[in-house]
A = this chain, B = another copy of it.
Amino acid sequence: MFDFKYYTPTKVVFGKGTESKVAELIKEFGGTKILIHYGSGSVVRSGLLKRVTDTLDEAGISYVTLGGAVPNPHLGLVYEGIELCKKEGVDFLLAVGGGSAIDSAKAIGYGVANGGDVWDFYDYKRQATGCLPLGVILTIAATGSEMSDSSVITKEDGLVKRGYSSDYSRPRFAIMNPELTMTLPDYQTACGCTDIMMHTMERYFTQGGNMEITDALAEGLLRTVKKNAIILRDDPNSYDARAEVMWAGSLAHNGLTGCGNDGGDWMTHKLEHELGGLYDVAHGAGLAAIWGSWARYVYKNCLPRFKKFAINVMDVADEGTDEEIALKGIEAMEAFYRSINMPTNLRELGITASGDDLAIMAHKCAVGVGGEMGSARVLNEDDMLNIYRNSQ
């Protein structure tokens, strides 16, 4: 196993009606002038934003608001948020929404705390030395950004999508009320479950160095999300299933399921990022569409992990050769994706890509990872192109 660091300072307040604690938590963490950052109009329409501002008004905490964070949040809005914070003397950020609002708020926090062009951090040119403190009211279980150190921002010019990670951006608190996720469309719920599982699967499929306890936690998390994703397909208003998935989403990406391993594989995410750059697809669905092709391309290089996954997560019987067991695990995962109406290839995702498009994505992906990347199997540009082709 490898040495590791584990740091999850976010105070989680989980349960029904917990958004009523927002003023108390902001005060606890020293916020006096707040930027409330949110995404689409749903937090307005649902009345959540009004409940939040009422609570802040009552507590005498002043704030400004900035909506408009979109999936693959844009750098332009980040710049706008930075200027607004400077002008208004904001000292604490409150993201209300899912990963888009949180990631955008993290970027605003970097911009205010460090000065200069915030894109520098996402463009590998500088390291941040701080971030404005941030709290979250979560409304979508998916990205895990509410406890993670990472954020992904898209620069509109050239549609460059880049991530930056540092502990400075880990939220001070995360308010998680599973009821707030009940209005999500079924497709988005399934995308969220897929993204959550993938955050842990990316850490699971590695070339050894793993810890048994990390594996046991990861497998338990994956089994739980798998089961509850199906419950939510049939009963989207199940509070318990919403809660299981929501808490799993935070644990899947806060570092817990990677302790002691080599950092993970992450190539399914990288391949999906290019897909998301070229086509308008939901991140979770894109991951599901790519994963099977990736898994079949790499499993022979990482057979012990694929076998363990098949038996401990997908309930495949420990019979036959290791290859047979591993393949049955991949098939079972694809069957699960289909059972929650997720695609298992580009066609099911609704994409017909030309050979040129596949080549462009493979090239951009290879450039983005510095030539080659992966732990289960190190992939170069040719490999990436093969995986895209096999996913058609």
Contacts and interface: CB of A to CB of B under 8 A. Distances in A.
A14 B9 contact: no
Interface in A363-382: none
17 contacts: A1-B240, A1-B243, A2-B15, A3-B15, A5-B11, A5-B14, A6-B14, A9-B11, A211-B240, A211-B243, A211-B247, A212-B224, A213-B247, A217-B217, A217-B221, A243-B260, A247-B259
A4 interface: yes
A279 interface: no
A341 B240 CA distance: 41
A168 to B, nearest CB: 12
Interface in A1-39: 1-9, 11-16, 18
Contacts of A229: none
B11 A4 contact: no
A26 to B, nearest CB: 16
B244 A213 contact: yes
A125 B357 CA distance: 70
Interface of A: 1-9, 11-16, 18, 211-213, 216-217, 219-221, 223-224, 227-228, 240, 243-244, 247-248, 251, 256, 259-260
Contact of A220 (B5, B16, B213): B213
Instruction: For the complex of A and B, list the 8 residue pairs with the smallest distance between their C-beta atoms, beginning with the closest.
Output: A3-B15, A216-B220, A9-B9, A6-B12, A213-B224, A7-B11, A220-B220, A212-B224
Given A2-B15, A256-B256, 11 more contacts: A5-B11, A5-B13, A9-B11, A14-B260, A211-B244, A213-B221, A216-B221, A216-B223, A217-B217, A217-B220, A247-B259
A19 to B, nearest CB: 12
Nearest to A147: B6
Nearest to A251: B213
B213 A14 contact: no
A248 B217 CA distance: 11
Contacts of A240: 1, 211
B247 A227 contact: no
Contacts of A221: 213, 216-217
Contacts of A220: 213, 216-217, 219-220
Nearest to A7: B11
A226 to B, nearest CB: 11
Nearest to A220: B216
Contacts of A256: 256
Interface-centre pick from A3, A11, A256 (highest chain B CB count, 10 A): A3
Contact of A15 (B4, B213, B217): B4
